[in-house]
Amino acid sequence: MNSAPDKIKKVSIIVSRGSLDGVYPGLIMANGARMEGIEANLFFTFFGLYAILGKYQDSIKIATVGNPAMRVPDAKGFPLPTWMGAIPGMSAFATSMMKKEMEKLDIPPVSEFVQMISDAGGKIYACKATVDMFHLTKEDFVPALDSVLTVGDFYELSAGGQIIFT
């Protein structure tokens, strides 16, 4: 009898937040899955859709307002009071700092990352309800978009795999 757990063969990752710290976990997990030979589906919904909207995907920012985990100048630094996140320019400043750190680690910008995942065989999907609610069309999305799906379609393609909500 084999006591080793079954390997994960498929993951479906839901990305619903439109901030850098909301988008990158899903991209990193999908990329890691593809590197391990695991089927990866990314399902973008609500503000997570901005990661696959061509006009906006490379202007996604860090959310500083109401972020109790924000620290300066780095993750071990002083806590930033949440009210300070509302200071004009704070989000742009935090985003700039984060992007510089990501560049040092060779983490690609959102547009490049989405394309890399698609090129590696990962599938990119948009939530139909959100697409309809935001009055979007296929032309608003990046070419890497595979399809606009209903939640039922998403569950069907996710059958037999792990569903991860970031």
What pLDDT is stored for residue 1 in this prediction? Answer: 57
Identify the CATH number of the domain defined by range 10-61+108-165: 3.40.1260.10
Are the C-beta atoms of 142 and 54 separated by less than 8 Å?
Answer: yes
Q: What is the pLDDT of residue 58?
A: 92
Query: Which pLDDT score, from 0 to 100, does residue 14 have?
Result: 97
Give the domain ranges of the chain.
10-61+108-165
- Give yes or no for a contact between 80 and 71, defined as CB atoms under 8 angstroms apart: yes
Buried/exposed code over 124-150 (b: 16+ C-beta within 10 A; e: otherwise): bbbbbebbeeeeeeeebbbebbeebbe
pLDDT of residue 6: 81
CA dist 53 and 138 (Å) reads 10
Give residue 160's region: left, alpha or beta (phi > 0; psi -120 to 50): left
In a structure prediction context, what are the per-residue pLDDT tens digits for the chain, which is 166 residues long? 567 778 889 999 999 999 999 999 999 999 999 999 999 999 999 999 999 999 999 999 988 887 777 776 667 777 777 778 788 888 888 888 889 888 999 999 999 999 999 999 999 999 999 999 999 999 999 999 999 999 999 999 999 999 999 8
Q: Which of 63, 54, 166 is nearest to 114 (CA)?
A: 54
Quote the pLDDT of residue 54. Answer: 94
Q: What's the CA gap between 118 and 108, in Å, rounded?
A: 14
Rg (alpha carbons) of the chain, rounded to whole number? 17
Task: Give 79's contacts (C-beta < 8 A, 6+ positions apart).
Answer: 68, 70, 71
Q: Which pLDDT value is given to residue 73?
A: 65
Predicted pLDDT of residue 123: 98
* pLDDT number for residue 159: 94
